[in-house]
Structures are given as structure tokens and as C-alpha cells.
Amino acid sequence: MLAGRRPPFLNQANMPELPEVETIARSLREPPENDAGIITMRVTGAKVLWEGTLANLTPRAFTRRIKGQSLEDIGRRGKFLVFTFSTDTMLIHLRMSGDLRIEKVTSPEGDMVPLLKHDHLALTFKNGLRLVFNNPRKFGRAWLLKDPREVLDDLGPEPFDEPLTAEVFHQMLTGRSRQLKPLLMDQRFLAGLGNIYTDEALFRVKLHPLTRSDDLAAEQSGMLLKAIRDVLWDGIRRNGASIDWVYRGGEFQNHFNVYGRKGDPCPDCGTLIERLLVGQRGTHICPACQKKK
């Protein structure tokens, strides 16, 4: 990463969130049965079609470094996709419009398959497949790093980390005096949560998003951590939520309790769901179940 420059979205909540990114990582890592994948494959070529895609290298330096490296694994950290190569690590943050696909370089007829209008980065592999980063709004970014901690060390713990106990989480919350929703979406506090899953988790424990973090009792902190984990796990099981204009992979949107349901009855008490702004983010609550103290 360029000296003195942090990723500009550590405090922001942009689609996709942890369950969507986890779903994408799994789909890239584990192709459908009988389909070839790119794990263990060597990079034979790279194209950078918009240099702004790269956060820390010039297109020439990126192409020179990644060519010849073999892809060892594909994972996730927070909202980042993590591509572990034999020498370097490539990080991709999709933000609001990014998408990744694996496709064959040539058609069954032997013709080159053209790249699409908003394809900004493409890696070609030895087995004739390529990984393409499509990024219409140009918000997404890619890094190629010797040590991914240059970027990832800015992130808070993963919600599913075993060391993140209820007691530790309570200490984290009460060690700050911030409104709950902006704090939970701060990627330096907790990695992976965004607008959707924060709203859903807060509803499950009946906490108002403007509640001060240092006002929570230990029991409330434990319940909140469990709700965060439960709602994220539900999202992962359903392949995420398909409400973003690019991501269309999941069905969790069919199981929202409050998010995006302004004017609908609360599933618990029947009061109409309201929408308010919290930290400049559209926020959905049940005003009866989630009363502000």
C-alpha cells in the first residue's frame, strides 16, 4: 500500500458484506463438479485495462510480478477476497459494483472470448481459464503485496474468531463510547459487517442503533455477539443477499426481518417498520421493539 494511505472504505458499509464475499470466495475456490478450477494453476498472462483498479502498483509492475506465479488458495478476510499466490498475495475489495468470474479464454470454436465493457483486470491461467474483475462504477480495488498485513492489519477481528468471546466483545464495546450501528460497521472494530447484517442483528436483540456502546450490560453484549454470528451464518447458508445491483447469488433477502422493509409490519409485534438515517446510512428498525433509551 502506498505510504500513509489507508483503504478509504474501512469505515464504510458497501455491498457485498461478509456472507456475500464468503460465498464468492467459495464459488471461486470450489468450482462445480466436473468444471476445471484455477487453484494450483500458474498465471501465464495479465491485463490491466484501467490502471485505477490497482491500489499499490502500476499496471506494468503488477503484470511483471504476477506472471509465472501459481494460485495456492482463495479466501476471505472481512470484505476482502484474498488470493494467495506462490510469492505474493492479491487482495480484491469489490465495493458496490465489483464482480469476479472465471471463464474460458477461447470458445468451443477456438475463437478468443472478448472481455466485457467494464472488465478492468484479467488473469489468464495455464489451463486456459481466466479470472476477470468486472467493476462498472470503478469503486473496487486490487492490491498485490508481499505481505497482506500491510492492508489487513487495519481490520478488526472476524466475528467468528474463537478468541472473540462474549467477555472480550463486551470489553471492546464498553471501551468505546459510540453509537452501536456506526461502531459495528467500522471495519477497524469488527470486520465484515455492513448495513444489512447490522440492522438484522440489532433487531434480533431489540437494540436501537443509536444506543451507546458503553451503555450495554455484559449480558446484552453477549446476546449481540450471538445475534451477529447467527445472522451472518444465516446469510452464508443462503449464499448472501441478492439486493445489490451486481451481486445476484443468494436468497437471504427473502428472510429479512427489518432491512428494506419500511412500512411492513414487524414480524414480532406488528408495528410498522421505520427507516431512519444513522451515520448517513439508511437504517431500518421496529420502533416498538427497538426503543431508544
Whose grid coordinates read 484455477?
38
* 240: alpha, beta or left? (left if phi > 0; alpha if psi -120 to 50): left
Catalytic, 281? Answer: yes
Cβ burial, residue 293 (10 Å; 0-12/13-18/19+): exposed
Q: Where are the alpha helices (DSSP H) in the chain?
A: 18-29, 59-66, 149-152, 166-174, 180-185, 195-204, 218-237
How wide is the angle at C-alpha 94 spanned by C-alphas 57 and 144, nearest 5°?
25
Catalytic, 79? Answer: yes
Catalytic, 104? Answer: no
How wide is the angle at C-alpha 262 spanned by C-alphas 206 and 208, nearest 5°?
25
Active-site residue, selected from the candidate residues 16, 19, 159, 182: 16
Catalytic, 22? Answer: no
Active-site residue, selected from the candidate residues 17, 20, 22, 200: 17
Active-site residue, selected from the candidate residues 79, 95, 204, 238: 79
Active-site residue, selected from the candidate residues 47, 67, 281, 287: 281
Q: Which residues are catalytic?
A: 16-17, 79, 281
